[in-house]
Amino acid sequence: MALVSPPSSPTIELRRCEALLVDEETVCKVPIRSHRGRFCNAHGREYVHLTRAYKAVSKTVEELKGQAWLSRKQLRALQDIFEVDSAISLAEEWRDAIAEEILARQVQHRRFFTTKDKGHQQWLEHLAICETRAEGLITRLRDRRLEIVSATEARRRIDKWAAQLRKVEAARAARAKELQRQIQEAGRPLGGAAHTARTSTTTTPAPAPPARTVPASPSADRVQRPTVYYSAGGFSAHSYDLEGQMPVGRPDGGWNASSILYVLFCMLLLWLFAS
């Protein structure tokens, strides 16, 4: 009876790790015995670590988005520079977290997936849009900060100018008050002396002129007109006799042309009255 050799067992082809090394070019190719996994034990653990890492960053991105995002109306409502600085810092954290998530997702996908995933690509595009929005928010916040700084500086300059103006006005008022006080002090004794001089000149009668004999006339029985004297207040300290029209009390006692003409005119008036 011939001996029959037992059939040889089929060769089991081992699967190899599909992950890329750190250089993102070399395939690992370490044999794997699991029929369900795609990576060796080391890269399997790394895959889990990177996946958890970008998911944690993704959660942070969503939280920061809710805290950092401001509408244009909310942005215009910011009036304090410290509030704007806080908003800028929060928006920058949001932007940096988005960039970190994008990088983590790209690294994880490049090393552990040989083909592109549509859902993964759409999420990256969504993150890119969010990053652009964060950059725009930061720009608007910085512009708002400049507006507040400019307005604050303008108010500071206006307040400084107003303070200087008030100081100038106060100094001007003080000078005017001091000048008025000096005028009053200087005018008080001067006014009293002037008043005394006016009183003495108006109340003291002028000296009587020398008597003159008037020639007789047909109207000799007419009542003789009284002699009127004017004080120094009327004719600069000179007294006049209306009958004779002789200027008396002149400092030099001399005659001039105007005095002679005045005497002749007065004599003519007397002659007209007498006739």
pLDDT at 189: 55
On whether residue 9 sits in a domain, the answer given is no
Domain boundary among 117, 138, 169: 169
Predicted local distance difference test score (pLDDT) of residue 37: 78
Asked if the structure places residue 34 within a domain, the reply is: yes
My answer on whether 33 and 142 are in the same domain is yes
Judge if 45 and 125 occupy the same domain: yes
- Examine the domain organization and report whether 241 and 145 are in the same domain: no
In this predicted structure, what is the pLDDT of residue 41?
86
This prediction has a pTM of 0.54
Q: How far apart are the C-alpha atoms of 140 and 200, rounded to whole Å?
A: 88
Q: Is 208 contained in some domain?
A: no
Residue 209 forms part of a structural domain: no
- My answer on whether 164 and 80 are in the same domain is yes
Asked whether the beta carbons of 27 and 11 are under 8 A apart, the reply is no
Which pairs count as long-range contacts for 107-111, CB under 8 Å and 24+ apart, including other chains? 107/50, 108/47, 108/50, 108/51, 108/54, 110/20, 110/24, 111/19, 111/20, 111/24, 111/50
Considering the domain boundaries, does residue 2 fall inside one?
no
User: Residue 4 has what pLDDT?
Assistant: 47
245's torsion region: left (phi>0), alpha (psi -120 to 50) or beta? Answer: left
- Domain presence at residue 268: yes
259 and 134 belong to one structural domain: no
DSSP sequence for 54-76:
HHHHHHHHHHHHHHH---HHHHH
- Supply the range of the domain harboring residue 117: 15-169
CATH number, domain of 50, equals 1.20.58
pLDDT at 243: 45
Domain boundary among 169, 192, 209: 169
pLDDT tens-place values along the chain, 275 residues long: 444 444 444 555 678 888 888 888 888 888 887 777 788 888 889 999 999 999 999 999 999 999 999 998 999 999 999 999 999 999 999 999 999 999 999 999 988 887 878 888 999 999 999 999 999 999 999 999 999 999 888 888 888 888 888 888 899 899 998 888 888 888 765 445 444 444 444 445 545 555 544 444 444 444 444 444 444 444 444 444 444 444 444 555 566 677 778 888 888 888 887 76
Residue whose pair of structure tokens reads 């400019």 in the numeric block: 150
In-domain check, residue 189? no
Boundary-marking domain end, from 169, 199, 218: 169
Q: What is the pLDDT of residue 153?
A: 83
Q: Verify that 44 and 131 share a domain, yes or no.
A: yes
Residue 24 inside a domain? The answer is: yes
Total number of domains constituting the chain: 2
